[in-house]
Structure 1
Amino acid sequence: MSKEETQMTRNETMVLEFVLEGFHVAQHLGKLLFLVHLLVYLASVMGNTLIIIITWTDPRLQTPMYFFLRSFSFCECCFISTVIPKLLSIFLFGDRAIHFTPCIIQAFFFLFLGSTIFFHMAVMSLDRYLAICRPLHYPTIMNPRVCFLLVFFSYVLSFVLITGVILKLSWLPFCGSNVIPHFFCDLGSLIHLSCSDTKSLDRMAFGVALLVLFTSVITAVFAYSNILISIMRLPSAKERQKAFSTCSSHLIVLSLMYGSCVFIYVKPKQTSRLESNREAALVNTVVTPLLNPVIYTLRNKQVHLALRDALSRVNFQK
């Protein structure tokens, strides 16, 4: 082997460990940030778990809308659990190191579950459209088999799309800096660290992001524009208010998720704006999963009534 080949082999040695940069302020406020994020994480998991239990056990909530909400809450619990535990470890112990394989696995589950959540949002938008605009055909169209298949294909399509991106990412050589300027193994940050040509992966990631986000966006825009037209045609103001109240919670969640994700992922070059991506990612990984249970429980009269009845039964048994 020539001297040049030996040097090239040495330079392209696979990085076995990455270092998560996290947030600079965490060096001084680590324990405080640990406590805040721990409380938010526990509240998010408990809130989404409560939604799963209530919609599973209450006979009044055995409808397609709450079936999708239950699956959505399950995805949210898994999604935040891919990122927050490691972030808590960084805040408390300063443990920023993460090995190559766990890093790739974290990136996969973050993107896979995130994509699944967006496909769920598209399905939930379609469900609201059929319930309000096609009420006579709704029970026939949204039967249990169709509901199961919609959720199933949300997972399958996400798995297929993200597996291709992650496999291509895992084959990249990493031979320079191993510091990830993020608080988790972000796709754009990992692409930035590779010492090879990443143009094809950039294009692939951009295409997948467009497909996932804009499929969901287009479905939501189609659904809610038709819903708005149908609501405005209702003769009674009370009926209009009731119809819109069933969709308002979903619209709030949609705006939060789409805003941050479009900012992070829908750009042709995944390595641009890495610094600002951290703040935007916090909205998806910390803020939105916490707000979802609050929005869906406090703004939903049926869930609110089911919770009140469940608490009454618990108090009665005591």
Structure 2
Amino acid sequence: MYGLLLRLSALDADAASALRVIGFYDVLVEQSASVDVILQRTAALAGCAVGLRRADTPHGRRADVNTPVHDGTPPIWARIRAVPEEHEVWVERLGAELPLDDLLLERFALASSVALSRRQRDVEVMDGPALLRLAIDSTADETRRRSALNRMGLTPNGVVHVVAADGAPDAVDVLARQAGHLLARASVDTVHALVFGGPVSTTSGVPTGVRAGIAAPHPAVSLPDAWREAGIALRYALPSRHDHPPYSLDEAVAVRYAALGGFGLLAERMSPEAIGEVADVRALDGLADDPAGEELLHTLEVVASTESIRRAATILHLHHNTVAHRVARAEKVLGFSLAEPYSRSRLMLALVLRRLRDSAEPA
């Protein structure tokens, strides 16, 4: 595909063609187009790959005709033009130059300069929480996100640990102080985003009513990925019932994404509507309607995660006959015996799906 620029170059009226290119970029400036949009539109106009590199980053942003904007650097054959403040743009046209290439580079550079300046002004007026919300936003312009990182004092390749916490703000404050070296914090709707400079620890406790999802370590430039992981882990977490440890696995007050394995994929792919169609989940809903439903479901979760009713009774601090009686009641509603092969795995899957359905609002 040779692109619009080649078609314009073939016109007899050179001045008219030039005016069309100038108008093309004037519209982008008037629309306050982001750097990524300018890159995508320029690639379509030129019919080849183009890019932009800021002075403060080793890698630039690159777009091709049929490729989304991504990181990249100019090849040796690229035509490069400096943008004010030491940025640069380039066009990767192989073969002979087109008559309008010089004009395209000039207007591409000017439009990019306007977008970069506007982005910098926008970021400079943001406070700490607003900067973090921008930095974790996967839909935000990449250059604006990198500027936010810079304003926050985070180097793109510096490792950070992200937590999504749900609970009363004062209680989340306590968690933020206790969990590690806090670098940044912001509220995102009803969830709190916490960014730490080192590993996250819950050995000092998770305040009552707070639950947390902990992402795997990521470089700061990948904060959107870390935030997504923390939100998925949060969906598996349960509110803390006591301020001080120890916490058993079934309490799930702080869930780490790295420990979820394939269950993380379930959270991303299973909709609440699809989960609601699972007969085992509906059976658990029936058990939950019992006056002692919460206690019964907690018992089933411990039973599903252990090798025997006797072991579950030890964890629950109950007599094994009490646990056996609860299991027998549940089996009548579930329609299968927990003594059957794979039945505990089937029960655990139903419990997991039900928890996901009930925490369907993403962080």
Query: Fold-level match, TM-score > 0.5?
Result: no
Kindly indicate whether structure 1 or structure 2 has the higher relative contact order, using CA contacts under 8 Å at least 6 residues apart: 1
TM-score, L = length of structure 2: 0.19
